[in-house]
Amino acid sequence: MKAYVLAGVILAAVMAHPAAAMTVGNCPDAMEEKAETAVDHIKTWPQLLDWYRNYLPCDNGAPAEGVSDDVAKLLAYHWGGLGRTRTALLTDPDFAGFVLGHIDATWDDKEFMPAMFNVGTKCPSDLTAFCANALVAIKAAKAESEQVITKP
């Protein structure tokens, strides 16, 4: 229980990082169109990192929904393909916060369990903090998703 509380505190701190909050929302129309097109092509962790580096100001609305879907698929089905993204998760708290921020109740229900399995059992030792935060976020998003589905 203490691990979940600590992970929740860390998650809140990462997601509240001021640099991430200041950069989102200043997306020119031309960039937003490119961001929407690019989000449809995210199939790997390095592509997610590239999207983050190129289009972070556009991380709202339709592009953000697409990124959330991509993060779900990457955590659920492509965990082993972290590659250079693993280093970014370790060294760039804004990127880690970006990934954690896209763990939400909009995910397809079938992706919650494989994502929880991957971060809960296949976490590299150097990503323990990230995995703990991701596991807390996935469980919270799953619970929120289930509440939305069961409400009349």
The mean pLDDT of 94-117, rounded to a whole number, is 97
In 3D, which of 50, 15, 18, 19 has the Cα closest to residue 35? 50
Mean of pLDDT over the chain: 86
Q: Is the pLDDT of residue 20 over 80?
A: no
- What are phi and psi for residue 137, nearest 5 degrees? -65, -40
User: pLDDT tens digits for 80-105?
Assistant: 998 889 999 999 999 999 999 999 99
Which amino acid does the sequence have at 122?
A: K
Q: Where are the domains of the chain?
A: 2-150
What Å distances lie between residue 24 and 27, 113, 131, 147, CA to CA? 8, 30, 24, 29
Q: Which long-range contacts (CB under 8 A, 24 or more apart) does 136-142 make?
A: 136/4, 136/7, 136/8, 136/11, 137/11, 137/100, 137/103, 138/75, 138/103, 138/112, 141/103, 141/104, 141/105, 141/107, 141/112, 142/105, 142/112, 142/116
Residue 14 pLDDT level (bands cut at 50, 70, 90): very low
For the segment 47-62, the average pLDDT, to the nearest whole number, is 96
Which pLDDT does position 134 carry in this prediction?
97
pTM over cut 0.95: no
